[in-house]
A and B are shown apart, each in its own frame.
Chain A
Amino acid sequence: MTARVLKGVVNLVLGLALGFLVVAAGILLGAPLLDEPLLSQWPVVAAQPGSDWQASAANMEAALAIEQGVLRIEHFGYGWHWALRVLDLAISGTLVLAGLWRMRRFIGEVCEGLSFTPGSVSRLRWIGLILVVFPLWQALRDTLWHGLLVRQLPDLGLALVSSFQTPNGNGFQLQFSIDWGFAVTGLLLLVVAEAFREGVALREESEEII
């Protein structure tokens, strides 16, 4: 894929991300006003796996063990859940847009043949840093959500514990929904940025040789 095609793809992704964020902000701000619910869902693991189905044949035995599921919650109106979602959208949206914007500038410089400049190194570093920070924010966000859910849901009769606790009996444990692939990609980009920094030094030295 050429740099020019990549620039088009990045522009398209940036436009889609911006559109998605505007729509998400609209839903988030409009739902409580229209008395519509906001849906949240969280992966959970059961303390004791369910085994509703068992079968055996001549040379095999099979059992279905259901231990993972999704906890879906509908929230109405304003409250802590709404504030957390606004915070999540603001921080996640800022990180995504900032990363894509820097990627757009970087690919623009590559198209102009200005790959090895201090500016491109700085942009690569920022993209790497954003990708490393993103799953850390996801972890913090999940921790905040889990704390609030664990405090509120037992009132509704669900034995729920956070990821740091062990469920007992027929309880459930909330799971983190973090994508560590972002952090690995971010670290890789930070390494590439260092290689680009070396490239800038080499280019500058080469320019001083006549």
Chain B
Amino acid sequence: MAIVVRLDVMMARRKMSLNELSARVGVSVTNLSLLKTGKAKGVRFSTLEAICRTLECQPGDILEYEEESK
């Protein structure tokens, strides 16, 4: 997919584990793991807002657009 999720990078910068993020955001570890590995089909604005608030970052720090190689 052209949209790449950089959640693991931001979590590493903030030194936050998946379990802690899950508890503070209110999204299950399973779903966060799917999001982190890029297996999710989409992300709700409310989820993105909660992640950005917790990790003190912008949506652009988590989501990136990469042109797909043909």
Q: Which residues of A contact B (CB under 8 A)?
A: 205, 208-210
Contact = CB atoms under 8 A, between A and B. Distances in A.
Interface string B31-43: 1101100001111
Interface in B1-57: 27, 31-32, 34-35, 40-44, 47
A209 B46 CA distance: 11
Interface of B: 27, 31-32, 34-35, 40-44, 47
Contacts of B42: 208-210
A208 B26 CA distance: 16
A30 to B, nearest CB: 61
Contacts, number: 20
Main SS class of interface, B: mixed
B51 to A, nearest CB: 10
A210 B47 CA distance: 7
**Nearest 6 Cβ contacts at the A-B interface:** A208-B41, A209-B42, A210-B31, A210-B40, A210-B35, A210-B43
A208 B31 CA distance: 9
A209 B43 CA distance: 5
